[in-house]
Amino acid sequence: MGFESYVVVHNIAKRHNVGTLARSATAFGVSELILVGRRDFNSFGSHGSSAHLRFRHFHSLHDARQFLKEKDFDICGVEITENAMPVNQHPFKKSTAFLLGNEGTGLSAKECEICDFFVYIPQYGGGTASLNVTVAASIVLHHFGVWAGFGERSRDGNKFVVAERPVKQVRRNFCTETEDDIVEERKARRENAANGFFDENENNNSSSNMLDALFVDG
Amino acid sequence: MGFESYVVVHNIAKRHNVGTLARSATAFGVSELILVGRRDFNSFGSHGSSAHLRFRHFHSLHDARQFLKEKDFDICGVEITENAMPVNQHPFKKSTAFLLGNEGTGLSAKECEICDFFVYIPQYGGGTASLNVTVAASIVLHHFGVWAGFGERSRDGNKFVVAERPVKQVRRNFCTETEDDIVEERKARRENAANGFFDENENNNSSSNMLDALFVDG
C-alpha cells in the first residue's frame, strides 16, 4: 500500500515562504498543500512548481483535522516539543499530514491540539534558536519520502525531469473553490483590513496589500 | 576523534541566500563558511547567526582545495551527478567540506574537479528540476551532523539555546582579513564593475550595488 504526505499551513505570515515550500513539497512527492485560515499566498520561489501541487483550503483547524481523520492520516506537528521525536528516526506509521507553525512563534497551543505526534530536527550549533520554516519543512518531507519508499524521479543529466505543466488549478495564487468562496473571501478581507485579524501573530503589512501576489511567480 | 564540516561557496550569485545558509550552517554545527571568488554577501535571513560562524576567503578553487587537503578534509560536491550517492545513505568518511553550486546552473566542470565525491538528494515528484540551494545544503548538513554524531544542542522550551553573540568577526558583511585585502577588494570591485566578472553566471545587478549589504542583517 502506498503512503501519502500532505502539508498543512495555518495562517502563514510570510506569504513568500509558500513558494519555496511548494517547490520542496513537489520535489518530495507531497500530494496536497492545505491552507487553513488565510488562503492568499505568493508563489515567488516556487519556480512554477505550485502548478504541480493540489491545493485545498479549510476555514478552521477543526475542519482540516476532520478531513484528515476521515482519510486516516496522522497529523504530525513540526515543532520542538518536549515529546517530539528526532525526524531522522522516522517515527512514521502511515500517510501523514505535516502541520507547520507560523514562522515567528512556532505551533500555537491550538495547533498542537490537532496533532497526533511531533517531530523535530536536531541542532548542534549555538548560532540560531530554530531553522527557517521552509528549511525545516523540507528536511521533514525528505525524511518522510525516504521512509515511505517513494519512487525516485527519473533524471536528465544533473536535473530531475519536470512533468508537463498541468492546467493551472490555482487561480491568481489564491486558493479558491467556488464563486461563493471568492465573494466570501472579499468580505473577509474587508473585515480583516478593519480588525487586523491575520496580523495577530506578526506585525507586518503582508495581508493588507494582496495585489503583488497576483503577478509574481518566481 | 571528532569530525568537522565546512561549507564552501564559490561566486554565489544571490547574496541573500548566504544569510539563510549561515543560519542552517550554524544550526548543523558547521565550523567554517568558506567563500571562494566573490566575498561580499548579504546576511539577511541569518537572524544574526552569521556572527556565530567562522568565515574564510580564497581567491581560487585551487587555493581552497589546497587548504582543505592540508587539513585532511574530503571535498563533497552537492550535485546530481551520474555517480552521486543519495545523501541519506551517509557516504561520509571523515571531516568534510561541502561545495555548493551556483543557484542557477549547479556545479561547473571546474568546481566538480576539486571534489572527492558527490551527494544528491532524492526527489520523488515531477514539479521541480532541483531544490532551492539553501534547502539542499541544509538537508546535506543535517545528514552529516547525524552521521558525525554531533552533540545535540540543549533546548529551552521549544527553542534551541542560542550562544552569546561573539564579537562580530565579519566586518560589514564583507569577508576580509587584512587592510591589504580591503584595498585589493576595492580594486577588484572597480574592475568587476567594468567587466561584469561576477555576473557571468546570472544577469542580475546584485554585484553592482553593494551598499545594501552593509546595513541589512535580518
DSSP, collapsed to helix, strand or coil, labels residue A213 as helix
> 3-state secondary structure string, chain B?
CCCCEEEEEECCCCCCHHHHHHHHHHHCCCCEEEEECCCECCCCCCCCHHHHCEEEEECCHHHHHHHHHHCCCEEEEECCCCCCEEHHHCCCCCCEEEEECECCCECCHHHHHCCCEEEECCCCCCCCCCCCHHHHHHHHHHHHHHHHCCCCCCEECCEECCCCCCCCCCECCECCCCHHHHHHHHHHHHHHHHHCHHHCCCCCCCCCCCHHHHHCCC
Taking the C-alpha atoms of residue B126 and residue B96, their distance in angstroms, rounded to an integer, is 31
Task: Taking residues A36-52, report their average pLDDT.
Answer: 63
Contacts of B160 in chain A (CB under 8 A): 80, 123, 126, 128-130
Higher-confidence position of A67 and B134: A67
Q: What grid cell was written down for A41?
A: 499566498
Q: For residues B191 and A94, what is the distance between their CA atoms, to the nearest angstrom?
A: 58
Q: Which residue of B has its CA nearest to A134?
A: B135
Question: Which residues in chain B touch residue A112, judged by CB atoms under 8 angstroms apart?
Answer: none
Among B133, B135, B144, pick the best mutation site for testing chain A contact (most A Cβ within 10 A): B135
Contact assignment for A123 to B163 by CB distance below 8 Å? no
Specify whether the backbone of B112 is left (phi greater than 0), alpha (psi in -120 to 50) or beta.
alpha
| Closest-CA residue of chain A to B118 | A158
pLDDT of residue A102 exceeding 50 = yes
For chain B, list the domains and their CATH numbers.
Answer: 5-160 (3.40.1280.10)
Chain-chain contact of B23 with A128 (C-beta, under 8 angstroms)? yes
Q: How far is A124 from chain B (nearest CA, A)?
A: 5
In chain B, what residues touch A131 (CB-CB under 8 Å)?
23-24, 27, 138
**Bigger pLDDT: A175 or B54?**
B54
Q: Where are the alpha helices (DSSP H) in A94-210?
A: 109-113, 133-148, 179-195
Q: Is there a contact between B124 and A159 if contact means CB atoms under 8 Å apart?
A: no
- Listed as ranges, residues in chain B with pLDDT below 50 are 170-172, 176, 192, 194-218
Query: What was the pLDDT predicted at A207?
Result: 27
Search chain A and give the residue with CA nearest B109.
A158
Who wins on pLDDT, A69 or B154?
A69
Cell of B161: 539555546
Asked if the model's pLDDT at residue A25 lies above 50, the reply is: yes
Strands B54-58 and A85-86: unpaired
* Strand pairing report for B54-58 and B74-78: unpaired
pLDDT at position A127:
78
Q: Give the per-residue pLDDT at A15.
A: 58
Which residues of chain A neighbour B53 with C-beta distances below 8 Å? 127
Answer for the pair A125, B29: CB distance below 8 angstroms, yes or no: yes
Q: Give the pLDDT confidence score for residue A186 in this predicted structure.
A: 63
Residue A75 contacts residue A94 (beta carbons within 8 Å): no
Rounded to a whole number of angstroms, the distance from the CA of A40 to the nearest CA of chain B is 21
Measured between CA atoms, the residue of chain A closest to residue B50 is A127
Q: Looking up cell 515567528, which residue turns up?
A: A104
- Among A6-10, A153-157, B102-106, which stretch is predicted with the lowest mean pLDDT? B102-106
CA distances from B113 to A157, B99, B116, B118 (A): 17, 11, 8, 11
Q: How many beta-carbon contacts under 8 Å exist across A and B?
A: 184
Q: Which residue has the higher pLDDT, B98 or A13?
A: B98
Query: What residues of B are in contact with residue A49 (Cβ under 8 Å)?
Result: 127-128
Which residues of B are less than 8 Å from A150 in CB distance?
A: 124
Spell out a b/e string for B139-153, using b for 16 or more CB atoms within 10 Å of the CB, else e. bbbbbbbbbbebeeb
Test A142 with B139 for CB contact under 8 angstroms: yes
- C-alpha cell recorded at residue B51: 556572527
Angle at which helices A17-27 and A133-148 cross, to 10°: 10
Q: Which residue has the higher pLDDT, B184 or A109?
A: A109
Q: What whole-number distance in Å separates Cα of residue A131 and Cα of residue A140?
A: 12
Report chain A's mean pLDDT, rounded to a whole number. Answer: 76
Q: How close is the nearest chain A Cα to the Cα of B55, in Å?
A: 14
pLDDT for res A203: 30
Which residue among B23, B124, B129 places its CB closest to the CB of A159?
Answer: B129
Beta-carbon contacts of residue B150 (< 8 Å; ≥ 6 apart): A124, B28, B29
Q: For residue A215, what pLDDT is reported?
A: 25
User: What is the model's pLDDT at position B196?
Assistant: 36
Assess contact for B114 and B62: CB atoms under 8 A: yes
Query: Are A160 and B121 an interchain contact pair (Cβ–Cβ within 8 Å)?
Result: no
Smallest CA–CA distance, residue A1 to chain B, in Å, is 17
Phi, psi for residue A194 in degrees, rounded to 5: -75, -40
Tell me the ipTM for this assembly: 0.76
Who among B88, B129, B160 is closest to A146 (CB)? B88
The predicted pLDDT at position A178 comes to 53
Of A20, A25, A127, the CB nearest to B27: A127
Residue with cell 532551492: B132
pLDDT in tens, A123-146: 998 878 888 888 999 999 999 999
C-alpha A36/C-alpha A60 separation (Å) is 6
Give the position of cell 492546467: A167
Q: Name every chain A residue with its beta carbon within 8 A of the beta carbon of B23.
A: 127-128, 131-132
Q: Is the pLDDT of residue A121 over 60?
A: yes
- How distant is the Cα of A151 from the closest Cα of chain B, in angstroms? 6
Rounded Cα distance, B169 and B175, in Å: 9
Task: Report the DSSP pairing between strands B155-156 and B159-160.
Answer: antiparallel
For residue B171, the model assigns a pLDDT of 46
Q: Which residue of A has its CA nearest to B148?
A: A124
Q: Output the nine-digit C-alpha cell for A213.
A: 501576489
